[in-house]
Amino acid sequence: MIDTSKGKRKRRAAQALAAAVGMALLPFPSQAQQSPEFAYPAEKWASLRDDRLEYEEIADLVHEYNNTVLQNAISYRDEKDKNKDDVAQDYYDTANDIYSNIQYPDADDPNYGSQMSSVLNSRLQADQLMERGDESTEDSGTIKLGYDQAEANLVKQAQQQMIQYWSQYYSLDSLRQKKVQAENSYQSEQNRLAAGMSTQAKVLSAKEAVSSAEASILSAESSLGKTKESLALMLGWKYGAEVEIGELPEPDLAQIGAIDIEADIQKALANNYSLKLTERRLKNARTEKVKNTQEQTQKNQRETIAANVKAGYDSLLLARSNYEQAVQAFELEQVSMASAERKLAAGTITRNEYQSQQTSYLNAEVSVLTQKLALLTAMVDYQWSVDGLAQAS
């Protein structure tokens, strides 16, 4: 069942982090956010702070309350003014510290061999740090891009997890229907046994089917609870909080039909975080070797991104087709179900025939829900590939 409790405030795990760095504390106990109060209208803050999760709120909840995003924001405060020379100098300084502390042993020292080995290891470590300084392409810009990419991935992950929650919820409904069917079969076998038309073995088999259905329900309920808890924690609620999971949006078939794949590929190339990182690192390259490496990486990434966006588009079209077919099949089952109900009322079909049609109807209904969620997942994957997360390597 979906939680329906309302009015309780979200209790944010980021409270300690916020206090540590002076983030604005709200007038609500144990709740903090990344942005100042004026960042959103009061109505939006109220919606974000209630205990109902709406799909369209996910990006804002991740930005304001996700622990990783908050930690990255804290770290960036110390890194936002770093240029490529600052980052490289950190390596050089560490290497020079090691060089200056090296003490060569006396050749007559009985431990000369082991001491000299330690010296050589220190020199190797310092040499590697100097090389890393030469090859460093990082600065505040690459650091920020990395944090932005991490946040985008978290939003995508939360969206997928909310879809997964509803997939498990619908599966649980299906399992409960199967349990009812198993119980009906068990009762039927008991009646047949009493009439001398069945065997004890068949009755026991039907009883085991009921027990198996009950075990499947318990397992599914546990998985559903874990998915919900993980999603809530990711979005800032404390462990065990009462959270109501809102409905998912309906698939926008018109939006899919309006996609211009070539235009979207160009958008994906312009938005891609990994490609932006490579372009920034190419700009920061200190040596010809590093420059050549980044140029080749850039070329490979552009080709890979374009191919993956196209593959995502093809998967989206397939998911749309599967969903449309499931809807058509369900509409036919609705007609057949209505006919079966009339026939049962008129006494022209048996109860078993009716139950068989009812099972077919319920399976078609589950198929629509399953294909709808698969389509929503494909839409999330495709949109994020355009918005910067297409696989680049």
Q: How do residues 297-349 score in pLDDT, each as one tens digit? A: 999 999 999 999 999 999 999 999 999 999 999 999 999 999 999 999 999 99
CA–CA separation, 153 vs 14, rounded Å?
19
CA–CA separation, 189 vs 25, rounded Å?
64
Q: How do residues 4-54 score in pLDDT, each as one tens digit? A: 333 333 434 333 333 333 333 333 323 567 888 989 999 999 999 999 999
Amino acid identity, residue 36?
P
Chunked into runs of 10 residues, the chain (393 residues) has average pLDDT values of 38 37 35 82 93 97 96 90 82 89 87 89 88 83 96 98 96 90 92 94 96 97 97 94 95 96 98 97 92 96 98 98 97 96 94 88 92 98 98 94
Contact 182, 209 (CB under 8 A): yes
Phi-psi region of 388 (alpha: psi -120 to 50; beta: other; left: phi over 0): left
pLDDT of residue 32: 63
Burial class of residue 190, CB neighbours in 10 A (0-12, 13-18, 19+): middle
List helix spans (H) across the chain.
15-21, 42-49, 58-65, 67-79, 84-101, 112-135, 140-194, 200-234, 253-257, 261-271, 273-284, 288-346, 351-384
Segments making up each domain of the chain, as ranges: 1-82+139-249, 84-135, 254-393
83-115 burial: b if 16+ Cβ within 10 Å, else e = ebeebbebbbebbeebeeeeeeeeeeeeeeeee
Coil, strand or helix at 81: coil
CA–CA separation, 325 vs 317, rounded Å?
12
The CATH fold of domain 254-393: Outer membrane efflux proteins (OEP) (1.20.1600)
CA 29 to chain centre: 29
The contacts of residue 141 (CB under 8 Å, 6+ apart) are: 280
Q: Which residue has the tokens 């794949």?
A: 261
pLDDT of residue 31: 53
The CA-based dihedral angle spanning residues 106, 109, 115, 117, taken in that order and rounded to the nearest 10 degrees: 90
